Structure 1
Amino acid sequence: MALSRGTSAFTLKMAAIAGMSCNHVANVFGDVMAPAATMILFTLGGLTFPIMAFLLCEGYRHTSSIRRYATRLALFAVAAEVPWFLLWGPSLNVLFTLLIGLGLLWARDHLRGRGAYGLVIVAGVAASWLCDWAIAGPLMIVFFHRVREQPRGVLKVMAAFGAVFGIPQLISVWGAGLGAAGGLPPAIQ
């Protein structure tokens, strides 16, 4: 699948894997790394989910069998849960968030009436509370799907979610690391 300006799905998948690796390194070794390095790794890692959400929307749009697509995603989500649980504790991994998002896309195309779809959105977002990328993840997927035909829509969604969810997270990481080390101005600490 080729995306705009020659970017392929494979390239995006490799970028997501690299970002995910950065995020995991920051999570595991952040306490012993320089705060600036931890923040850089978290920033790069923050790109992982938006890429995965975008690719999920593209996969939904181009799959020949949503049932097989959802089954594969569910199997990987269950298989990944054991290491996720051992590393991060009792929550569901990001693949469950993607599965919820896939269900929301399916519901958008198959439910009649806005009320029913609204209830499914509320239920999906509520269920995501147990998952990585809670609340923001399923909403980002829905918004990506809505703007799929707009030339700059995906970038606008990423910028909006980055501003609302990413910047506060980075400030908190930065404040915890650099603030303790004296790297932040007193007004921000």
Structure 2
Amino acid sequence: MENTLGNVSAPSEERGFINRNALKYIVIVAMLIDHIAELFESSIDPTVYHIMRFIGRLTGPTMAFFLAEGAKYTRDIAKYQKRLAIFAAVSWLPFLIANPGPQKLISDPFNLIFQSVIFTLFLGITAIRLWNSRLYTKKDKIALTVLLCLISMIGDWPVMDVLAPLFMYIYRDDKKKRYIAVTLAYLPMMLMVLIMDGWHQAGVLMVPLIIIFCYNGKGGKKNAFNKWFFYIFYPAHLLILGIIKWVVLA
């Protein structure tokens, strides 16, 4: 795998009409819509806001799915993990500029510890590598995975985007167990957030429907643009939106 959202050489499965590249760009658009709503909530009609956030719930779980796919098919998982670490570091400052924003960073430097979803996905690939390691007992692996989940609390999509890709990887050859495990990874926290934050959180239910009925397992056209676009777009769009919010709404 050579991209966070899944440029992998995987067997194709004729079960849908959306290939990996197309789904990747759908996720990118959904993420942009979500972040616009999140950062400019005060300027958006409440109903429109929840619809935009509902669409945005597609992103986190789909990224976790492609992370597991990438771990399964990559020729060098250590290189993949390193790339995610670099990507998380590059995205850190744009993420903070977007949310909480420069003013809150200055007034409360504690906000500097918070990280983007890429950081959480990095912990997810770390959990997968840990699970594959022969250096640890099963009890050690479970304990260290719990530790990774605790660390993920400073990141976006905490715990969920650590456990979900891990479960999808572990149960990659058993669809029933895979979907049960992933549901258990997302459901508790999503129910809690649904009660606290609004009905838009139910948008995560789109993900299994799209992957099961629409995704065909094919990668799509391979080129440098498809490979690197998300790496550039993610921190760039956060930086631009953060600056706009800072200048316009300050």
TM over 0.5: yes
Does the alignment pair 1:68 with 2:68? Answer: no
- By relative contact order (CA 8 Å, sep 6+), the higher-ranking structure is 2
Moved more, 65-74 or 150-159: 150-159
Name the residue aligned to 2:58.
47
| Number of residue pairs aligned between Structure 1 and Structure 2 | 175
1:128-169 superposed Cα distances (whole Å, 9 cap, x missing partner): 111111122211122222332234555545554554333442
CA distance in 1, matches of 2:176, 2:25: 22
Structure 2 distance, partners of 1:173, 1:156, is 25
Q: Are 1:50 and 1:158, in contact at CA under 8 Å, matched by a contact in 2?
A: no
Q: Identity across aligned pairs (percent)?
A: 25
| Counterpart for residue 103 of structure 1 | 126
CA distance in 2, matches of 1:132, 1:118: 22
TM-score (norm 2): 0.63
Q: 1:5 aligns with which of 7, 10, 15?
A: 15
Which residue identity is paired with 2:21?
F
Q: For 1:1-189, list aligned pairs within 5 A.
A: 1=10, 2=12, 5-6=15-16, 7-89=18-100, 90=111, 91-111=114-134, 112-151=136-175, 155-157=179-181, 159-161=183-185, 163-174=187-198
CA contact (8 A) 1:97 1:131 kept: yes
Q: Deviations along 1:68-97, whole A, 9 cap, x unmatched? A: 111211111111111101112331111110
Counterpart Cα distance in 1 of 2:120 and 2:99? 16
Which stretch of structure 1 is more off in the superposition, 9-18 or 117-126?
9-18
Question: Displaced runs of 4+ in structure 1, greater than 6 A?
Answer: none
- Assess, with a 3 A threshold, how the Cα gap between structure 1 residues 34 and 125 changes in structure 2: closer, same or farther: same
Paired with 2:132 and 2:115, the residues of 1 have a C-alpha distance of 26
The alignment's C-alpha RMSD in Å is 2.2
**Equivalent pair of 2:160/2:186 in contact (CA under 8 Å):** no
* Letter in structure 2 aligned against 1:123: L
Question: What secondary structure is seen at the aligned counterpart in 2 of 1:164?
Answer: helix
Give unpaired runs (5+ residues) of structure 1: 176-189
Q: Deviations over 1:88-111 (max 9, x none)?
A: 233111111011000100111113
Report the AA paired with residue 30 of structure 1: E
Distance 2:30 2:178 in 1: 18
Distance 2:181 2:32 in 1: 24
1:144 counterpart letter in structure 2: M
